[in-house]
Amino acid sequence: MTRVVAQGTFDILHPGHVHYLRDAKAMGDELHVIVARSVNVTHKEPPVMPDDQRREMVAALKPVDEAHLGHPEDIFVPIERIDPAIIALGYDQHHDEERLQAALADRGLDCEIRRASPLDRDDSDRLLSTGRIIDRVLEERS
């Protein structure tokens, strides 16, 4: 059985998240998703939704076999516990694949790293980021 790990913030779910998780699931037999804790989100605005609610929403999605909250201090702890064969990164996630591969090797983790495919953006009005959803809500409700 090929176990795959996907990870992200998953704040306000949108079609881009669903596409990423479907792609990740197609890479193996079992998909585990690590939902970042708010305290670990430093590369963008902090999540609007609480950690447990974001994990609950991700767990409810069809491609997901199990959803986990990330570790508050060490992002590799859940990866060590899950022991995946593949780590699926989102098409536009900020991770440096070479640095991630080196960090995994330093921890004795032997995982293949793959990128999900981009979502076809044929509809320019499609909201594919949490930031754009929040901006749209603010525009519409102001």
Four-residue CA torsion sign, 50, 62, 91, 89: positive
Residues in Cβ contact with 96 at an 8 Å cutoff, skipping those fewer than 6 apart: none
- Cα–Cα distance, 66 to 110 (Å, whole number): 21
17 is in an annotated binding site: yes
130 is in an annotated binding site: no
- Cα–Cα distance, 92 to 74 (Å, whole number): 23
9 is in an annotated binding site: yes
15 is in an annotated binding site: yes
10 is in an annotated binding site: yes
- Cα–Cα distance, 88 to 117 (Å, whole number): 10
- Cα–Cα distance, 8 to 4 (Å, whole number): 14
Binding residues: 9-10, 14-17, 92
* Bind-site residues for ATP: 9-10, 14-17, 92
